[in-house]
Every structure is written in structure tokens, then in C-alpha cells.
A and B are shown apart, each in its own frame.
Chain A
Amino acid sequence: MTDLSKEELEARLGAIRRGPWSEGVVKAREQLAPVQPIPLSWKGFHPIALNEIALSASNKRKSGRLSKTLRPHFLGEGITDDKEIETRDALDDALTIPQLYELAVQTGYLPEDSVREPARAILTDLLWSGPARRFVEAYDYIAVPMLATRVGISGLFPTNPPEPEPSASLRFAGFLAHLRAFYSDEQVDKWLAFLDDYIVEDDEQDLVWEFLRGQRKKRPIRIVELLVGCQLFVTSLASAFHILSDDELGSYGLIHAYWLQKFFGYKRNGKGHFVKNAAVWGETDSWAKTFSTSARLVLPGTDPAIDKVERRQFIDQVALLEGAFEAVKRLARATRQITGRSERPVTIRDRVRL
């Protein structure tokens, strides 16, 4: 039972369902759809074991194709095929919804009953195949198996969803407001694309790094846009993390784990753990450090007093992001230990297992 009116419930569910990630949901549902309908109904309360679904021959073949598309990128060569990237990005976007459902329930923003049907629908649509479920496991979408357990779905790594803490609903609302704005902001988007290696001139990342380090005088073409995008990225994340308690930083931060990892110069090793990307950054460098320590962080001509304040604020905000990333790493590590996943590194065999 819930005290929320039907209108309020619908508005809250809609805000999660219809975010900037909606396009990814449609695309993921299309691209991950089984060839033949899966003989199960997500309606009702009956348990659903995703790993026990009997797949038809054509669905097995589809699952086989997905095992290549959705392979953990940290095993072997990276992902460079545009079509594969598109599908993976779509699934990543789509998984925002079950993550938000779970956080919404944990914080009392939404009652558990209200997410049961939509959660069962999206989880079965997206995760009927083994490769999609392994994608969830490999990339630490910890909230997804929690939600699955909550709504009677098994087949993902076992985990116990925490009891809802209703007093945290406003913090969830704040985070949701941030997330919707974050993924709607074109300047942040340009910065995220840059972090993700989308560049507009040869060696742009090297040029930007050299410019910020004072090793190059000529400005890279997009330097102002990237400075602005980076600062908006940092400010937006810091505003969101600021309202959270220390205990919440990990679970909320996981939604931004990919970008935090890139920003702080990390990658995943063969076990899927976050480790410093020493080959690119050495042991201490990163975009976070490069921007924070650059004399060119603040645009030329800025009043020295403003320069000083802006720089200090940026550094403080980056420190908050770093704290959140530490919490993310701790939570991912702890969850892997509890579920025993750290003892079983993701292997090449996983890539071909249906």
C-alpha cells in the first residue's frame, strides 16, 4: 500500500521512464530483442529465473551474437565496431532505469509495489540472454540484481536488496534532477564524448593535455568548449554528491562510475576491478589532475581574485568527486567479495558461453 496519489506515482515513474536515457531504452529493446518471443510473462508475482529460460535455436544464435557484442571490453582487444558500440551504449542507457527504480525504492521515493511491473518488464526484455546478464555483472550494475531480487527475478548474481529508508526520498529527487540535467546538457555531452575518445582533430587528447600542462602554446580547437564542459561536468556531479550522505555516495556514484573512472585515469583490469590506467596516465596523472593543476584552467584575462576562487572551488569539487569514486570502488569490491565474483575472473570462455 502507498500514500501516494495515482497522479504523483505516475509523475515519479514517468520522470524515471522518460529521461534523456529513453532513446537508449527503445534502441536496446530493439537490438537485444529475442528473435522468437520468450515464453514467459512478467506480469504477476511468480518467480522468474532468467538463467533457466529454455531458448529456441534462433534465440540461442542471437544470444551467441550478443556474447560478442556485449563482451567485457577489458578482456582482450577493445570495442571499436560502431554497431557494437551503439548496442552497448544503448544497453548502458537502458540500465539507468532499473538502477533508478532500485535507488527510488531504497530511498522511499517510490513504493516497491509501484515498480514491480515495469521493473519485471524491462529486466526480462533486456536480460533474457546470458551475455546481457554478464554485462550487468562485469560492469558492476549492482543495483540491477538488487532490483531483480526485489521483484522476484533470479539469474543475476545473488544480492540482498537493502530495506527502504523513506527519509532519503528528497535526496533521490535531487539526484534525479541532477541526472536529467546532466544528460541533457550539450556542453557536458561534448566533454563526455571527449573522455570517451570522440575527437575532432588528430591527437586532440594529447594536444589538450600538452596545452593544459603548458607544453604547447597553440590552443587546441575546442579548448574553451572542453574547459567549459569539464567544469560543468565537475560542478554538476559535485552538486549531486554534495546532497548525499557518505553511505550513499557509492550506490549513487555507481551510476557515474564509467565517467569517474575516465576522469581519474582508471580502467578495469582482467577481473573487472578498477585499476589505475598506468599505460596512459602513469601512476598519478589523470584528467582530474591535469585540469586541477593547470595554469590554464581559468580563462585568460580573468580577475586574479576570481581566478583564485574558481580554482579553489574546482579543486574542492574534484576532491568530492574523488571521494565518490573511492566509495564506488569500495562498494564494487565489497559486492564482488560478497557474491564471490572476485574469485572468478571473467574469462574468455564467458564470451562464448550462451
Chain B
Amino acid sequence: MAQLELVDRQEDLWLLLRQPNGGAGRSLAIFVHGFLGDHLTTWGRLPEMLREHAASEPFLANWDFLFLGYSTRQIASYLDIARIIATQWEKAATGKVPFTGKYTRFALLGHSLGTLGIRQLLCAAAMQPSQMLHALHSVTLFGTPLNGSPLASFGAKFIGGPIAEALKPGNPQLRMLRSWNESVHPLLQWKGVRVVLGTDDKVVGNKYADLIDFSGDAKPSFLLTFDHKNLVKPKEWPRSAIRDEILGALQ
């Protein structure tokens, strides 16, 4: 099988790894980075590893990978991130440029703030592309701030613009998202959300008080010794806990 080809749109903040001339009938995994990350370095060598190993991993053979970005300081609410995801999903599902065929199955994988954008999209039915939940294969949230991040309390105005406020513990946007989630999940019933947390992640916390349930979440899995940043940066492929999580999401 040919190596996945690279479609790089730095100016639009996304990169697609796809089977050459592929798309039609294939599956698309969408990766959404977190606070002040970028669409590629947030994931360390993961894009490179996926490109190298996708052909030899049976579970990955039918997947292409879209790394999606946004400028953190231009984001005011989770809805803005949700809209970016929905736009690309819509294009992929309808085979519009830059996609060369209609994707039929999708997985969403997020890190940190990106996970809140994904949660928002799950709740905001009016924003969802047609048949989105039907085509949704899985949702995996790495280092998701279930209860915000204590770190966001400091220097927020200098660090990340308005969205930094939406990362503070118990902030109004997060409370609204949670309430929205609780209201809508019984009706929309999206697939179980996989939550992956690092035991050394002090950015979003991993104590009882931090682990507020969102309806639809599966019981979190904890990766030993991973902190917030290295939770999505695999050091190697064959024996990586991150690989296992990704294969679990895409199988």
C-alpha cells in the first residue's frame, strides 16, 4: 500500500494525511489541538508515526488523518472551535475541496481545549453536519479539562485571550457546556466518549474533584506517568500507550 500523501495548508492551519486520490468511502480521523498549541507540534511525532505505520496497522488501513488548527487568541468560545471542526467535516463528508471523495466515517480526537470544542459540537445539533452522529465512529478526549484548569487562573489576559477565561475552573462557559451536554445527550445519544487522562497531568487535574462526569463519557482511562503535554506525544510507536488508545479509537 502506498504511503499516505501529505496535503499541507499551513495558511489555513490544517494538514491532511490521506491515501493518494483517496477519500471516497474512507474514514477520517480529525485531531484538534489544545490551548496555544498548533495543529502539528502539539501531537509531537504522532503524524509522522501514523504516516509510517498506517499501512501496516490493519485498524488504520482505511483511515486518513486530518490535523486541524486554530489561533487560540482568536477563539472566543468553544463554539468557535466546534464550527471549525464542523466546516471541515462537512467538506469531507461531501467530498469538497480539498477532499477528493466523500468520507463516510469519522473519529474525533482532541487534546485539552480542543476536547471542549469537540464536546460543544456534539451538543450543538444545529451546527452539526448532516448525519454527523450517524457517521461518528468514536470520540477520544486526551487531557480534557472536565472541570477547567487551575492554571488558567493566572496571567489569563496575557496568555490566551478570551478563551483563557473559559478554561478557569467552574467558569460560566464550561458550566453551560456541561448543562447543555446533560440536556442533549439523552436525545442525541452519541457514541461513548473515551476520556484519556495522564496520572501526572496537573494542568487539568486528576483528583476526584477534577473528575466531573459528563453524560456519555466512558470511565476515564489513566496513562501512567503521562503529563498534560506528553499525553499526546508518543515517543515510539510499537510499545506506546498512546498508540493503543488511538487504535482503540479507530478499530
Query: For chain A residues 1-31, which have a beta carbon within 8 Å of chain B?
Result: 3, 8, 11-12, 14-15, 18
With contact pairs A170-B48, A225-B158, A242-B44 given, residues A11 and B6 touching in the complex (Cβ less than 8 Å) = no
State the CA gap A301–B37 with chains docked (Å): 25
A171 and B48 contacting across the interface, CB-CB below 8 Å = yes
B150 and A243 contacting across the interface, CB-CB below 8 Å = no
Query: For chain B residues 26-45, which have a beta carbon within 8 Å of chain A?
Result: 36-42, 44-45
What's the least CB distance linking A106 to chain B, in Å?
16
**Of the residues B8, B11, B39, B233, contact of A242 by C-beta under 8 Å:** B233
A309 and B8 contacting across the interface, CB-CB below 8 Å = no
Q: CB of A176 within 8 A of chain B? A: yes
Query: For chain B residues 139-177, which have a beta carbon within 8 Å of chain A?
Result: 150-151, 153-155, 158-159
For this complex, into which size category does the number of interface residues on chain A fall? Answer: 35 or more
**Of the residues A225, A227, A232, A299, contact of B36 by C-beta under 8 Å:** A232
Q: CB of A280 within 8 A of chain B? A: no
Q: CB of B229 within 8 A of chain A? A: yes
Q: Which B residues are in CB contact (< 8 Å) with A242?
A: 41, 44-45, 233
What's the least CB distance linking B64 to chain A, in Å?
14
Q: Which B residues are in CB contact (< 8 Å) with A240?
A: 41
What's the least CB distance linking B99 to chain A, in Å?
13
With contact pairs A170-B47, A173-B6, A225-B158 given, residues A309 and B11 touching in the complex (Cβ less than 8 Å) = no
Q: CB of A178 within 8 A of chain B? A: yes
Q: CB of B219 within 8 A of chain A? A: no
Q: Which A residues are in CB contact (< 8 Å) with B159?
A: 187, 228, 232
**Please, what's the 1-or-0 string for A105-149, where 1 marks a CB less than 8 Å from any CB in chain B?**
000010000000000000000000000000000000000000000
With contact pairs A173-B8, A177-B10, A232-B36 given, residues A243 and B154 touching in the complex (Cβ less than 8 Å) = no
Q: Which B residues are in CB contact (< 8 Å) with A310?
A: 151, 202
**Please, what's the 1-or-0 string for A221-253, where 1 marks a CB less than 8 Å from any CB in chain B?**
000110111001001000110110000000000
Q: CB of A305 within 8 A of chain B? A: yes
A302 and B154 contacting across the interface, CB-CB below 8 Å = yes
B8 and A15 contacting across the interface, CB-CB below 8 Å = yes
Select from chain B the residue with minimum beta-carbon distance to A175: B41
Q: CB of A335 within 8 A of chain B? A: no
A170 and B6 contacting across the interface, CB-CB below 8 Å = yes
Q: Which A residues are in CB contact (< 8 Å) with B44?
A: 239, 242-243
A15 and B51 contacting across the interface, CB-CB below 8 Å = no
State the CA gap A14–B10 with chains docked (Å): 9
Q: Which A residues are in CB contact (< 8 Å) with B9?
A: 11, 15
B47 and A174 contacting across the interface, CB-CB below 8 Å = yes
A14 and B51 contacting across the interface, CB-CB below 8 Å = no
Q: CB of B182 within 8 A of chain A? A: no
B41 and A305 contacting across the interface, CB-CB below 8 Å = no
A301 and B154 contacting across the interface, CB-CB below 8 Å = yes
State the CA gap A288–B231 with chains docked (Å): 26
Q: Which B residues are in CB contact (< 8 Å) with A313?
A: 227, 229
Q: CB of B224 within 8 A of chain A? A: no
- Top 8 nearest A-B pairs (CB, nearest first) are A15-B10, A239-B41, A174-B40, A309-B202, A299-B154, A177-B40, A228-B158, A306-B202
Which residues of A pack against B, CB within 8 Å?
Answer: 3, 8, 11-12, 14-15, 18, 109, 169-171, 173-174, 176-178, 180-181, 184, 186-187, 224-225, 227-229, 232, 235, 239-240, 242-243, 299, 301-303, 305-306, 308-310, 313
Could you list 26 examples of A-B contacts with CB < 8 Å? A8-B7, A11-B8, A15-B8, A18-B11, A170-B6, A170-B40, A171-B48, A173-B8, A173-B15, A174-B40, A176-B10, A177-B39, A177-B40, A178-B41, A184-B71, A224-B155, A228-B159, A239-B42, A242-B233, A243-B45, A301-B154, A302-B150, A306-B203, A308-B202, A310-B202, A313-B227
